[in-house]
Amino acid sequence: MLRSIPVLLAAALLAACSPASEPFAAGGPVILTVYGDVSDTNRGPVEPGLEPLFERYGMDFAAARSFTFSGLSAMEQTEISVTYPDGGEPQRFTGPLVRDVLTAAGAEGETAIVSAFDGYQRQIPGARFEDHDVILALTRNGEPLAIGGFGPAILVWPRDDDAALAGQNDDDWVWGVFAIEIASE
Ligand SMILES: Nc1nc2c(c(=O)[nH]1)N[C@H]1C(S)=C(S)[C@@H](COP(=O)(O)O)O[C@H]1N2
Ligand SMILES: [Mo]
């Protein structure tokens, strides 16, 4: 009986090292996939029959950069206190700068097409993310964003602090973000 403990330990250690456990070691499920004109990829093509949401929206790629919640949380976080929705109460959002996420993916295109679960899409020039400290927010008021709410991530713009964004409406505040395509035009 006692002799089985080292065996179990060895099995557990082996399991911890096996490829099947890597997604957990890497921080749980992927919440964001950046595809299109990206050079720093970490996954291959869309898998037919296994990635129905990509297929539903006609998202096709040979390679892409995927990010887990933990991976995005481990990047430098920026906090933005801002009213959202427009005219609402101030909220405190945190997350990585969008430009840092795009840089991590090796994004080389001009435009980011940001897609949400519900099919809502916004085409945003990459320069907007250079000119403004926009974040891919993962938390609101200290709580991780939930799916069903704004989660897994929402684009948050510092419109109350960045004079050039004053009066911006909510159109580019995409919630439920799960994919970003980098395109040349
Ligand atoms: N995923 C997603 N994000 C979105 C929208 C949407 O329909 N889907 N609508 C945008 C607009 S136009 C506004 S005014 C705000 C609030 O829209 P909502 O009431 O549909 O959340 O979210 C913005 N972000
Ligand atoms: Mo809107």
Q: Which residues contact 116 (CB under 8 A, 6 or more apart)?
A: 174, 175, 176, 177, 178
- Residue 103's domain comprises 20-183
Query: Which residues make up the environment of ion ligand 2, defined by Cβ < 5 Å?
Result: 170
Q: What is the per-residue pLDDT across 21-53, written as a single tens digit (0 to 9) for each?
A: 555 556 789 999 999 999 999 999 999 999 999
Output the CA–CA distances (angstroms, integers) from residue 127 to 27, 68, 70, 116, in the order listed. 30, 25, 27, 21
Q: How many domains does the chain have?
A: 1
Ligand 1 surroundings by CB, under 6 angstroms = 85, 116, 118, 120, 170-171, 173-176
Name the percent of the chain in helix, strand, coil, to the closest 5.
25, 30, 45
Atom of ligand 1 nearest to the CA of 117: 1
- Whose structure tokens read 């037919």? 48
CATH number of the domain that 45 lies in? 3.90.420.10
Question: Does 12 score more than 60 pLDDT?
Answer: no
Residue 48 lies in a domain: yes
pLDDT digits (tens, 9 = 90+) for 67-102: 999 999 999 999 999 999 988 899 999 999 999 999
What is the model's pLDDT at position 22? 54
Q: List, for residues 128-153, the tens digit of each pLDDT value.
A: 999 999 999 999 999 999 999 999 99
pLDDT band at 3, cuts 50/70/90? low
Number of the ligand 1 atom closest to the C-alpha atom of 176? 1
Q: Whole-angstrom Cα distance, residue 114 to residue 60?
A: 15
Instruction: Evaluate whether residue 5 is within a structural domain.
Output: no
Confidence of residue 2 (pLDDT cuts 50, 70, 90): very low
